[in-house]
Amino acid sequence: MTLEITYPLTTAGNYTYNTDDIEVTGGYGQLVNQAPDTTCLALYTNNVNLSVANGSTIGTAVGGASVSGGKLDLTGGTLKYVNYNADLNADSQQVGAIRFGYIPNYSGAPASTQYLITISKADSDGDNNIFIRHASSGTMEIRIVDSTGANIVDAGLLSWSPTSGTEYEFELNWDITSGATRLFINGTQTGSTQTGTGTRDSSIALFRIGTNYIPTVSPNFSINYIQVFDAVQHTSNYTASGPDLLYVTDTPKIKPASTITAEELSNFIATSITGSSSNVSYTMEVSGTERYWTGSAWTTSTGYPQTNTFTELSSNLSELDLSGGKTARPVVYLTSLDGITNPQIDTMTLSYDFYGPNPGDPSLCIVNGYLRDANNIALAGAQIYVVPKTSQFIDGKNIYVPGKKVLTSSSSDGYFEISLIPSSELVGTVLYDFEVYPSDGKKYTVSSKTVPTTETAEFDDLV
């Protein structure tokens, strides 16, 4: 009989997966955000837009700012910069962090002051301003301004002399509530911790790369990436490693917690959401072993490289051998190729021909004994029939045992043995009769014996 089972991704407990990598939420199975503090991230792969954003992703290039070779190119000594809407992207007021890869197009002190990043109330409005700049004197400077335009932090940290074309990781962590603002370059704190405190309000709309909130100073550098956080990321030296990716780039999997038992799979439907840099792929687990379609046959899968697209899997289900009844369930691999896009599995439906699950074997007891006549002569070749006195089910298993005779025979020395289901495995009180047929053709019966739950039992010990 054909049945259908639907797997909605609504209840986490119905699925098996690594909770460090995958979550079931909002009706989807998806990758866990590994950098939950991130408010926006730009990788400059193709254009000036943000790759990830809590707010608008749109970047507005001014003065010829452009992406070249996977970097935001602000070189050339002319006024060029990129504006972003800071709302939800870079508007964390009291605590936060910003990290970026900075590539100066100069060595030592710049010919003119370089404004690396600027956050403020609006264009030409310096309230709530945060900036990092490399002054023409060579001093690395930071400033944080409150909602009225007064300085909270205004610090020249130390003289910095970079090498043209070399990338440096900058990370500014600000906490103007407790008074702990730190700038790191390549993971090493630059200058002292700034202890100024104050209040920035929520009027923060401008996030600019390349010049000040009043756009008058020309840049001469490139940016490899930029990432903004709504929480402090580091309070001591750390190992610089680039942007924090949002999702793991390995290949975690999720599968239903329970299996179905079938003799054939007839149809598979799956709804998923992917982007150009993410992937949802499948295997079918059969009796505990994942299987995938090679293009010509089903064989054992050892992981993500041996998975199928939805079309490959669903189109070849009829070739999957489930003869005799086997357990089955779909397995879904969620893969973010770039660590930014998040693949999601929505729902799955599997149609199958039902096959009752194997209840497993009961325990058995080997009953053994010897047959001899009154002259102590071994009775060889005697037939011994054992008959359950009543038909019954095995307790807790979908197995019916009719009152049918089972047979063994004695060997040359009169020895016999037979494996029997213990009486206690059967529902109710089930006793056994032993019927012995020697060569004279007569029947001798030993009635109403209990077979114990031991591995073996001697015939004369049965009660």
* Same domain as 388, residue 336: no
Domain boundary among 170, 199, 229: 229
237 domain residue, yes or no: no
* % of residues, the chain, pLDDT over 90: 95
* Same domain as 369, residue 457: yes
Total structural domains within the chain: 3
Can you give the CATH number for the domain in which 327 is found? 2.60.120
Rounded to whole angstroms, the Cα distance separating 305 from 299 reads 13
* Same domain as 80, residue 66: yes
Q: Which residue has the tokens 């797997």?
A: 7
- Read off the pTM: 0.79
274 domain residue, yes or no: yes
pLDDT at 429: 85
Nearest to 82 by CA among 209, 233, 265: 209
* Same domain as 350, residue 294: yes
* Same domain as 54, residue 69: yes
Rounded to whole angstroms, the Cα distance separating 185 from 166 reads 13
Q: Is 366 helix (H, G, I), strand (E, B) or coil?
A: strand
CB 272 within 8 A of CB 344: yes
* Same domain as 208, residue 320: no
CB 253 within 8 A of CB 19: no
pLDDT in tens, 384-419: 999 999 999 998 889 999 999 999 999 999 999 999
Nearest to 244 by CA among 258, 260, 230, 233: 233
Q: Tally the C-alpha atoms within 13 A of residue 110's C-alpha that lie toward its C-beta.
A: 22
* Same domain as 382, residue 307: no
* Same domain as 211, residue 112: yes
CB 48 within 8 A of CB 67: yes
240 domain residue, yes or no: no
Domain boundary among 354, 384, 419: 354
Domain boundary among 165, 194, 229: 229
11 domain residue, yes or no: yes
pLDDT (tens digit, 0 to 9) for every residue of the chain, 463 residues total? 789 999 999 999 999 999 999 999 999 999 999 999 999 999 999 999 999 999 999 999 999 999 999 999 999 989 999 999 999 999 999 999 999 999 999 999 999 999 999 999 999 999 999 999 999 999 999 999 999 999 999 999 999 999 999 999 999 999 999 999 999 999 999 999 999 999 999 999 999 999 999 999 999 999 999 999 999 999 999 999 999 999 999 999 999 999 999 999 999 999 999 988 999 999 999 999 999 999 999 999 999 999 999 999 999 999 999 999 999 999 999 999 999 999 999 999 999 999 988 888 999 999 999 999 999 999 999 999 999 999 999 988 899 999 999 999 999 999 999 999 999 999 988 999 999 999 888 999 999 999 999 999 999 999 9
* Same domain as 188, residue 116: yes
423 domain residue, yes or no: yes
9 domain residue, yes or no: yes
Phi/psi of residue 460, nearest 5 degrees: -75, -10
218 domain residue, yes or no: yes
Q: Is 222 helix (H, G, I), strand (E, B) or coil?
A: strand
* Same domain as 426, residue 314: no
pLDDT at 358: 81
Rounded to whole angstroms, the Cα distance separating 164 from 462 reads 94
Amino acid at 396: G
234 domain residue, yes or no: no
Tell me which residue range forms the domain holding 443: 365-461
* Same domain as 175, residue 100: yes
Amino acid at 132: I
Parallel, antiparallel, or unpaired: how do β-strands 456-458 and 365-370 relate? parallel
Rounded to whole angstroms, the Cα distance separating 431 from 144 reads 90
* Same domain as 129, residue 204: yes
| DSSP structure class, residue 194 | B
Can you give the CATH number for the domain in which 412 is found? 2.60.40.1120
